[in-house]
Amino acid sequence: MRALLACLLLVPMVVQAAQPNAGASFNDGLNFANSTLKGSVENTARTAQPQNVVPQYAGTNVPETGYASLGSGLTSTAQGAVATNSTAAWFQSANASRPRFTLNPATDPILTYTDSIATNPNAIVGSITGTYQGCAPQQNPSATSYTTEYCTEWADTVPLTCQRTLDVTVSQTGNCTPGSVVSAGSASVGNMTMEIQILCDTATNTITGQARLFDPGSSCTGNGTWQPFTLDPNTAITTATAIATVGYESSAGCAPVFLFVNNGQCSGNTCSYSFSFIDQAW
């Protein structure tokens, strides 16, 4: 054993390290990644459980998920957590006690030197020697340019038709002046005279009239004053009906005198009525 070892030690060993080739090394690494690592990494990404390969992985349902919906309340929540979080308490304490530096813009060398360069750059940096020839003007192909364009457009006129349904409301207006007399009549019994007038009324769907009684020898009050009455042109009169008190008869102790419409009706635009007072018709 000792003789064999001696022989081995006497054999000269010369090892020459091979010179690395950058291109070959890159290709070897690329081939190794494509053939071995790629499949391993892709398989791990597909099948591995995050909690088994990611240190301190706590899953997707962690307490911090509730911070997303706090909005402006996140600040107060973070401040309240300082009391129970040792790292936050340490940072707050360390941040309060760390050294602070005050930079005076009037005396700080960096700031004053910067102001000097901005005020007179040639006096400060004009003495810098050396030139650089690598700069060359370049035209920016994406620079904004403005052009004025004109265009003319027109539209062909096309005849169109449409159908309209019109709802027409007719308001019939007479050719008389409202309040004017359109018909009049009178009748007398002894000293008493009854006058009747039919007036123009375009505002209502009624026949408007007025009547008054004259009794020259009467001592009763209320005679000679127009008393209004109305008739419905849509209703025919077949029975004598009192429609107004027109005065008072002195010979009967100032008894009221009533105006009666005996009969009448309207046909189209023509109306005909018979009136009476006491028992005299006209």
**Average pLDDT across the chain, whole number:** 79
Report yes or no on 273 lying in a domain. yes
Lowest mean pLDDT among 65-74, 166-175, 178-187: 166-175
Report yes or no on 227 lying in a domain. yes
pLDDT digits (tens, 9 = 90+) for 37-61: 777 777 777 888 888 888 888 888 8
> Which of 260, 239, 250, 263 shows the shortest CA–CA distance to 216?
250
Q: What is the mean pLDDT of residues 144-163?
A: 85
Report yes or no on 187 lying in a domain. yes
Q: What is the mean pLDDT of residues 7-17?
A: 36
Report yes or no on 48 lying in a domain. no
Instruction: Put the strands of the sheet holding 181-189 in their side by side order.
Output: 181-189, 192-199, 207-214, 227-231
Report yes or no on 108 lying in a domain. no
**Position 55, amino acid:** P
Q: Is residue 171 pLDDT above 80, yes or no?
A: no
Q: Please tell me whether residue 238 adopts helix, strand or coil conformation.
A: coil
Beta bridge partners of 259: 244, 277
> What is the count of structural domains for the chain?
1
pTM for this model (two decimals): 0.38
Report yes or no on 165 lying in a domain. no
Q: What percent of the chain has pLDDT over 70?
A: 85
Q: 207 with 182: CB under 8 angstroms?
A: no
Q: What percent of the chain has pLDDT over 90?
A: 13
Q: DSSP state, 20? A: P
pLDDT band at 2 (very low <50, low <70, confident <90, very high): very low
Q: Is residue 129 pLDDT above 90, yes or no?
A: no
Q: Which domain holds residue 276?
A: 181-281
Report yes or no on 123 lying in a domain. no
Considering only residues 210 and 32, tell me which one the structure prediction assigns the higher pLDDT: 210
Report yes or no on 167 lying in a domain. no
pLDDT digits (tens, 9 = 90+) for 77-101: 888 888 888 888 888 888 888 888 8
